[in-house]
Chain A
Amino acid sequence: MQNPLKQITPKDIKRSLLMALWFMFLTFPIMVIKVNTITDTVEWRWINMFIVGAATFIFSHVWKVLIDRKEGRMAAAEEPEKKAEKVTLRERLEEKPAIVKTGSLVILGLAVLFPIMTGMYQTSIMITALLYVVLALGLNIIVGLGGLLVLGYIVFYGVGAYTYAILNYHFGLNFWLALPLGGIFAMALGILIAIPVLRLRGDYLAIVTLAFGEIFRIVMENWNALSFGPSGIANIPRPTIFGLDFNLKQSTNLTYYIILVFVVLTIFIVRRLEDSRLGRAWVAMREDEIAGESMGIDMGKTKLAAFALSTFWAGVAGVIFAGKTTFINPASFTMWESILVLCMVVLGGMGSIPGVITGALIITLLPEYLRAFSEYRMLIFGAILVIMMVFKPEGMIPAIRQKYEFKLNTGKNRKGVK
């Protein structure tokens, strides 16, 4: 890679100057003038204008270089000869499955030791992150594999959490019984929602699920008899095991291990599903419904299966969430959360398990560790989403399509091709 600074021509500088001027103009009212209509004061902050100008000037160079590189990469991808020469890390890893296996085991080992190595605070953050990993993997079934856009996924998480909270409040149901029940209730609702919307396509489906999500939240906020409204349900017992009495640290650790087991289980199941008949039917549905149907796949059943499996995981994660926080209210299940889970799936790479896990971990942990810039973290987060999508639209770790090709001489007839 040659030094990008060498390529700067007067033309580039002129471009950047114009950009800087444009952004100084664009941000002028909002960045420079601050009006307080209560006290009737106007504050002029000229310094901000220069900051914006200087920042744009530098940033536009970086942007240009990165865009050029991306376009170069795309052009290279269109010429197959060039592409074949470049062996990616991914392809090298595939040649040696042993490395992948050992790597996964090491990561699993580290994950098991995590609560011992770190304190309770870190463990608690990690539980949240892993909850989102389960959610993202669940949503990945519908969005990543099935290609259906769902914007109200958090409802099913909420159903799981409320199942445990309400049944525990009225009947003293314990955590372990609630775990499958939460999943089943969420799944039942998932199927119930899926049946009428099976006919809908693309963005219509997205908006209907969004609508269901909002209805759920508003009903929970107002139906005081059932959900205690916005004040929520408190004192939900933490999970225990064998009827032992646990202190806070121990039960946090237990919750951590429960969720870890579920993460591993989810990965295992999704992985098995991917290459199954059902998984291939989902991919067919994503690529082309009509073509899939004419190949004899029952699209209705396939869609229902995607909804059912996906919502089950959300329900289970919801029960664990209720057990972890011991308090739930409708504010935890806003549309914003659904959007966040969707971001995890797309940012990581739709349909790719390692991608979705990475996406979920980054999106939950990044704001946590950006607390140093607490004020700016959502601003930075938004910018990161845009930048990631512009430069890597297929996600961080894109899914590989299994492709069967016949190759002479090499003796190898199966190869993963993107």
Chain B
Amino acid sequence: MNSTYFIELFLGGLTRGSIYALIALGYTMVYGIIQLINFAHGEIYMIGAFTALIVSGALAFTGLDPVIIFLISAVVAIVFSAAYGVTMEKIAYKPLRKAPRLSALISAIGMSMFLQNYVLLAQTSDFQPFPDLIPDLKFLKPIENIMNTTQFIILATTAVVMVLFTLLIKYTKIGKAMRATAQDKIMAQLVGININKVIMVTFLIGSSTAAIGGILISSHVGQINFYIGFIAGIKAFVAAVLGGIGSVPGAVLGSFVLGLTESFGTGYISSDYEDVFAFGFLIIILIFKPSGILGKPTKKKV
């Protein structure tokens, strides 16, 4: 057990945690506002990754600089993912606002199946190698064996996204409206907030961050298929619950805790039981803190 191995696992855990955090943000925001577990959120992440793959593949023949191709495909992927998120909300969730909560959940599950099979049929069921477009950063050369370029970019991007996101929630008008809607929908409407618009923006932002996660992880892992969204979605959901669902800092914290638990668990104990560590840890936390690490205990009212 040397310290390099420890640092390696630690950074691996942080990388994982960053990706979970990017996806979990969307989960927790949607949950905070409409109390829906958006099962199809992972599919948005997958669609983001696929769109980036397709666009970069189509642009490969133009002979542009790989970095520019990467940036263009990232932007296109984010735009399309956001569009998918908003459309999904309009079709599958908006008509169910007043329906029982479980019905909306089943609708989300149906949407998730639909999107998975849509990509499967329109594209392919095989794993597709994701083009390696990010050049190695020179200043990372000395610590290459602990942290490679994609890891660095994942950590840096996540940090930037988190800061922007916090600023958006805290200081902008729409952020204020979102917080108000999360607190009390009827009251928010009374003070003149258009909650339909707020919900739309929530899906827009959540889907965009999920797409960023999708693009980053695909360049890190190097291959994607139509099924990546489901597993990542479940993990991110676990992370959001771990931190206290509905709470944005909770989702970020939960994601990092989950990522590190998995990384150290697989590194020091056994890789067969990777998911057992994540889920076992979740159960233990929830038994002692039933509303997650940062979740506020729900007030009991009759």
Tell me the complex Cα distance, A376–B238, Å: 30
- Contacts A30-B118, A383-B114; is A208 near B283 (CB within 8 Å)? yes
A35 touches B54 (CB 8 A): yes
Determine the main DSSP class of B at the interface with A: helix
- B45-88 CB mask vs A (1 if < 8 Å, else 0) is 00100110111011011000000000000001000100110010
- A310-342 CB mask vs B (1 if < 8 Å, else 0) is 000000000000000000000000010001001
- Contacts A290-B300, A346-B106, A386-B114; is A208 near B76 (CB within 8 Å)? no
A390 touches B96 (CB 8 A): yes
A288 touches B302 (CB 8 A): yes
Tell me the complex Cα distance, A211–B280, Å: 7
A196 touches B50 (CB 8 A): no
Q: Which residues of A contact B301 (CB under 8 A)?
A: 290
Quick one: which of A67, A196, A395 contacts B95, CB cutoff 8 A?
Answer: A67
User: On chain A, which size bracket covers the interface?
Assistant: 35 or more
B123 touches A30 (CB 8 A): yes
A203 touches B245 (CB 8 A): yes
In the complex, B100 has a CB within 8 A of chain A: yes
A215 touches B276 (CB 8 A): yes
Quick one: which of A27, A42, A206, A378 contacts B113, CB cutoff 8 A?
Answer: A378
A291 touches B283 (CB 8 A): no
Tell me the complex Cα distance, A389–B286, Å: 31
- A1-30 CB mask vs B (1 if < 8 Å, else 0) is 000000000000000000000110111011
- A365-389 CB mask vs B (1 if < 8 Å, else 0) is 0000000000110110111111011
B106 touches A347 (CB 8 A): yes
Tell me the complex Cα distance, A335–B111, Å: 17
Give the distance to chain A from B86, nearest Cβ to Cβ, in Å. 10
Quick one: which of A36, A38, A208, A386 contacts B107, CB cutoff 8 A?
Answer: A386
Given contacts A218-B276, A379-B117, A393-B100, 4 further A-B contacts (CB under 8 A): A350-B102, A375-B121, A382-B115, A382-B117
Chain A residues at the B interface, C-beta cutoff of 8 Å: 22-23, 25-27, 29-31, 33-38, 40, 42, 48, 67, 70, 143, 149, 196-197, 199-201, 203-204, 206-208, 210-212, 214-215, 218-219, 221-222, 288, 290-291, 294, 335, 339, 342-343, 346-347, 350, 375-376, 378-379, 381-386, 388-390, 393-395
| Top 4 A-B residue pairs of the complex, sorted by shortest distance between their CB atoms | A385-B110, A35-B57, A382-B113, A393-B99
